[in-house]
A and B are shown apart, each in its own frame.
Chain A
Amino acid sequence: MTEILIKNGFVFDPVSGIKGDKKDIAVKDGVIVESVSGSAKVIDASGMTVMAGGVDIHSHVAGAKVNVGRNFRPEDKLQAVYEPARGVRHMAGGNSVPTVFKTAYKYADMGYTTVIEAAMPPLYARHTHEEMRDTPIIDQAALPLFGNNWFILEYLKNGEIDNASAYIAWLLRSTKGYGIKCVNPGGTEAWAWGLNCMTVNDQVPYFEITPKEIIAGLMTVNESLHLPHSLHLHSNNLGNPGNYQTTLDSLKIAEGFKANNNFGRDQVMHHTHIQFHSYGGTSWGDFESKGAEVMDYINKNPNITCDVGFITLDETTTMTGDGPFEYHLSALNHLKWANTDVEIECGAGIVPYIYSKDIYVCGVQWSIGLEMALLAKDHMRCYLTTDHPNAGPFTRYPRVMKWLMSEKARDEVFASMKAEDKVRDRSTLGSIDRELTLYEIAMMTRAGTAKALGMGKKLGGLVPGMQADIAVYPYNPETASDPEQIEYAFSNAKYLIKSGEIIINDSEIVSNGNKQTYWVDVKTNPSKQVEHDLREMFLKYYTVTERNYEVEEHAFMKNPNVISIDATQ
């Protein structure tokens, strides 16, 4: 394999504590090394910023609902130029729901090398993996959904943690999944009857269990399986005024839980797109931020991490495993609505949405995300996402970085809003002058996310021995003055190296790389009960046979990367 030396860049690496020092980074055989021979290819990064490849902890980029989003919104293709094929690149289009090729190229342009698909309906796992297989360059993993799964509801109701663990291990293996995702626990099952669970104490119809019990049970299982990632939670009551109470109630369930794993992860709960869960008021009329309250709780509780889900003030496509939320959203904006309830397991909904800066609620939502990120005390626990494409397309990450790093840029947005005063009035953002540093941005986008995913020993840093995922941005932290430069630079990596291979050379994508798919294979003690229940459920209630459920690794992955764990005691 080739040797590469990236010379003279300003390096930002929270893993080794480097805060913008000029430093050379050497690469050999796909990993970062101390030094390389004289024959190494030299990349001159003088005057540029060097970071590890970005690791996105939560994005909807592959699978059934993403493809519904593509296929039911031909108009989305008109929102951005449809790019023709060029060199190694396929033609690529779409804006808020890009085609798989565009997804890969845009992430690469932003210097990202790893993306987690945040919601995989197990029955549609094969679809998710087919799309990931066709997505070049970026390494991926997918989180299967468990919070409304009948097996889980039954086992947890009966306190059968061992059975729940054995079942989850089986399902991760069958679907080639990475961790435990829980969306609107109990609420999506209730939605199959047109109902919902709005608080952590609502009963799930017919299953006699509450969201609180589901969340606690899944965290217990997660730690007993020693999984690399923690429970990945999208709690109940998303997107509604006054929902911060439900959020705090959900976060509090983590109290007393301790992480138990060998992957360097500290948290037991990752709460996703926390912005959508930090709303005050009783209606859209008196809607206001409770971001400060929620972030204060997270700041004080080191066993919780979160990502933000920044609103980017764009036209986009919302999609989530929270079926009832999407129905209510469509009732709000009267745009088209797609929904799929998935037997035994989960459901999902999709609705286009326009976050207009002229609508004060959207403005307040925008300010809540930024407010929370700026009030966060530890950016190793608070991450940059847009819950792509829900709060905005992932292609806006560089714009979000600009807002986080520049008060001037935030003020410009405020000033462009029709209801500026009202928006300023409903959150504390206007009174915050904090500007994040590149070092903090590196925490939010690589070091922190990799750690929370249990990949921190391998990804998210520039320490010798780590996978050589490196981005070089045309941004000089010593001379840059205009905030627009931030957005431009982080949208246009000058060089990108993934697993030691040059993907972007002098701003041009030159290779489709050798993308990996991560999945977790946990060994547990066998459970006769689970074996029996699987047989019974497939015979009676599923519409595919047990054998046809499994996603076969060889057929659906170009380059599998299996994380094996022994959880037998």
Chain B
Amino acid sequence: MTQLVTDIICPFCGTLCDDIEVEVSDDGKKIIKVTNACAIGAEKFLHAQSPDRIVRPRMKQEDGSWKEVTYDEAAKYTAKILCDAKKPLMYGWSSTSCEAQATGHMIAELVGGVVDNTATVCHGPSLIAVHDVGIPSCTLGEVKNRADRVIFWGCNPAHAHPRHMSRYSIFSRGYFTTKGSKSRKIIVVDPRPTDTASVADYHIQIQQGRDYELIDALRVALQEGPLPETVAGVPKEKIYDIARLLKSGRFVTIFFGMGVTHSLGKNHNIDIAIALTSDLNKYTKAAIIPMRGHYNVTGSGQVLGWQFGFPFCVDLSRGFARYNPGESSANDLLMRGEVDANFVIGSDPGSHFPFKSVKVINELPSVCIDPHMTPTVAVSKCHVPVALVGIEVGGSCYRMDNVPIESRKVVDPPAGMLTDGEFLELVLTEVQRIKGVAA
């Protein structure tokens, strides 16, 4: 007999679907089938079962080979490099639970570390824009129930957040949107003809890197102000049309992704996108939501916020929290050679950071906590495999609209394997011992 586990969250992307059903073997050890998840999500669950999974911590030897160690030894090494360092970088946090993040932050406080999360290379500019202009937003259910005008700007949920469109933003039927996609006008702004663009009512093929100009033009068009013949490659008639379309809606939502946050202009693009949203509230109701990537990058910003007051790149090295993106952010620190130990959890900077940063990691005392073999593991001195949050252990996570949902355990982790939280507790205890402070 197999058993069906329901109401599981998918620990992959910021859509944080919570209706996943998993069929597991009678002994609760094996995942047989995953339903409701998209292809990426299902693969994440099935990956947990891969037979070649590394199940014990390892230290890299002189010759580059790995030697198995115990969790205690790995925790001692981790605590030592963090305590020995003047300014250890503790990076990642986006694919682990809020409970593990909180424990990690207590370690960072004791060792004077810099805590940064993956927002630093994705929605960091959005967070900075929010400091400047705030953010009128809403939960995804508001989009589902009310939104009749939806813009996807510089994002392609069809590939990056596959169930977003059916659960919340295009096809879903809500209380005031009973006809699903027929209740909505969908606008995609993207230089590329993406799969999301192919289901939109309007695809605005903006010239690459011209987001600021086009948003600015839309703000002018809302007031029927004068525009040049084309802006960012878009004819002015089309811009006026879109502005009128938005004003005629009852509830507008703008979703935006890294096409806006990491093209020229960065946080200024988001400043003006938020300003456009605020402007729209003079005519109708409007909200804006960043398409957050990792399933709990939002949670990392939340926990850092309530514990230290800032959403990312929090520098605790001077004994109080400092925050200055561009100075206290991971890549800036690595490239300037300012950190002397590297700790990674819940992310893969080896794949996503510039080569120059990865080279620095390769030279530092370093530990990487990750269930999988990743490029970051390859450049780290110590690799600590752990149970997968949301599959083998539960914990709190935050969806892209900041709604918290508790992830659940579906199957047992491989025998003897610790969770992120358990391993971090070991490290914390050891750090407290080294520092001579009470638990």
The interface of chain A, by Cβ under 8 A from chain B, is 62, 64, 66-67, 70-77, 82-85, 88, 90-91, 93-94, 97-101, 123-124, 126-127, 130-131, 134, 150, 191-194, 206, 327, 330, 336-344, 347, 350-351, 540-545, 547-548, 552, 555
CA distance A540 to B102 in the complex (A): 34
Please tell me if the beta carbons of A84 and B320 are within 8 angstroms of each other in the complex: yes
Please tell me if the beta carbons of B301 and A71 are within 8 angstroms of each other in the complex: yes
Residue of A nearest to B173 (CB): A540
Interface residues in B126-146 (C-beta closer than 8 Å to A): 127, 130-142, 144-146
Chain B nearest CB from A141 CB (Å) reads: 18
CA distance A101 to B106 in the complex (A): 12
Q: Which 5 A-B pairs have the closest CB atoms?
A: A343-B141, A336-B134, A341-B138, A82-B320, A126-B404
The interface of chain B, by Cβ under 8 A from chain A, is 6-7, 9, 18-19, 98, 102, 106, 109, 127, 130-142, 144-146, 167-168, 173-176, 250-251, 278, 281, 284-285, 287, 301-303, 305-311, 316, 319-321, 323, 394, 396, 398, 402-406, 438
Which residues in B have their C-beta under 8 angstroms from that of A541? 141, 144-145, 174-175
Which residues in A have their C-beta under 8 angstroms from that of B302? 67, 71, 127
CA distance A285 to B176 in the complex (A): 41
Please tell me if the beta carbons of B19 and A545 are within 8 angstroms of each other in the complex: yes
Main secondary structure of the interface of B (DSSP, over half): mixed
Residue of B nearest to A95 (CB): B309
CA distance A542 to B7 in the complex (A): 14
Please tell me if the beta carbons of B251 and A83 are within 8 angstroms of each other in the complex: no
Chain B nearest CB from A348 CB (Å) reads: 10
Which residues in B have their C-beta under 8 angstroms from that of A555? 394, 396, 406
Instruction: State which of B102, B135, B139 has its C-beta within 8 Å of the C-beta of A543.
Output: B139
Chain B nearest CB from A540 CB (Å) reads: 8
Instruction: State which of A94, A98, A192 has its C-beta within 8 Å of the C-beta of B146.
Output: A192
Q: A74-B323, A343-B142, A543-B139 are in contact. Are A91 and B308 (CB under 8 A)?
A: yes
Please tell me if the beta carbons of B132 and A336 are within 8 angstroms of each other in the complex: yes
Chain B nearest CB from A568 CB (Å) reads: 29
Which residues in A have their C-beta under 8 angstroms from that of B175? 150, 540-541
CA distance A1 to B155 in the complex (A): 59
Of A72, A82, A85, the most chain B CB neighbours within 10 A belong to A72
Please tell me if the beta carbons of B139 and A337 are within 8 angstroms of each other in the complex: no
CA distance A194 to B250 in the complex (A): 9
Please tell me if the beta carbons of A71 and B305 are within 8 angstroms of each other in the complex: yes
Please tell me if the beta carbons of B251 and A543 are within 8 angstroms of each other in the complex: no
Please tell me if the beta carbons of A340 and B320 are within 8 angstroms of each other in the complex: no
Instruction: State which of A74, A340, A342 has its C-beta within 8 Å of the C-beta of B131.
Output: A74
Please tell me if the beta carbons of B287 and A547 are within 8 angstroms of each other in the complex: no
Which residues in A have their C-beta under 8 angstroms from that of B98? 130
Please tell me if the beta carbons of B323 and A77 are within 8 angstroms of each other in the complex: yes
Please tell me if the beta carbons of A93 and B145 are within 8 angstroms of each other in the complex: no
Please tell me if the beta carbons of A542 and B141 are within 8 angstroms of each other in the complex: yes
Chain A nearest CB from B102 CB (Å) reads: 7
Please tell me if the beta carbons of A339 and B144 are within 8 angstroms of each other in the complex: no
Chain B nearest CB from A166 CB (Å) reads: 22
Of A71, A84, A543, the most chain B CB neighbours within 10 A belong to A543
CA distance A336 to B7 in the complex (A): 38
Q: A126-B406, A193-B250, A327-B281 are in contact. Are A93 and B309 (CB under 8 A)?
A: yes
CA distance A548 to B10 in the complex (A): 13
Q: List 15 A-B contacts (CB under 8 A).
A: A72-B131, A75-B131, A82-B320, A85-B109, A91-B308, A98-B309, A123-B141, A134-B102, A339-B137, A340-B138, A541-B144, A541-B174, A543-B144, A545-B7, A548-B7
Which residues in A have their C-beta under 8 angstroms from that of B403? 123-124, 543-544
CA distance A374 to B179 in the complex (A): 57
Please tell me if the beta carbons of B402 and A124 are within 8 angstroms of each other in the complex: yes
Please tell me if the beta carbons of B321 and A547 are within 8 angstroms of each other in the complex: no
Chain A nearest CB from B378 CB (Å) reads: 34
Please tell me if the beta carbons of A99 and B306 are within 8 angstroms of each other in the complex: yes
Please tell me if the beta carbons of B319 and A99 are within 8 angstroms of each other in the complex: no
Q: A338-B134, A543-B144 are in contact. Are A100 and B139 (CB under 8 A)?
A: no
Please tell me if the beta carbons of B309 and A70 are within 8 angstroms of each other in the complex: yes
CA distance A548 to B396 in the complex (A): 11
CA distance A338 to B137 in the complex (A): 7
CA distance A99 to B303 in the complex (A): 10
Residue of A nearest to B174 (CB): A541
Please tell me if the beta carbons of A194 and B285 are within 8 angstroms of each other in the complex: yes
Which residues in A have their C-beta under 8 angstroms from that of B404? 124, 126-127, 130
Please tell me if the beta carbons of A192 and B144 are within 8 angstroms of each other in the complex: no
CA distance A84 to B145 in the complex (A): 46
Which residues in B have their C-beta under 8 angstroms from that of A545? 6-7, 18-19
Which residues in A have their C-beta under 8 angstroms from that of B145? 343-344, 541
CA distance A76 to B398 in the complex (A): 24
CA distance A66 to B136 in the complex (A): 15
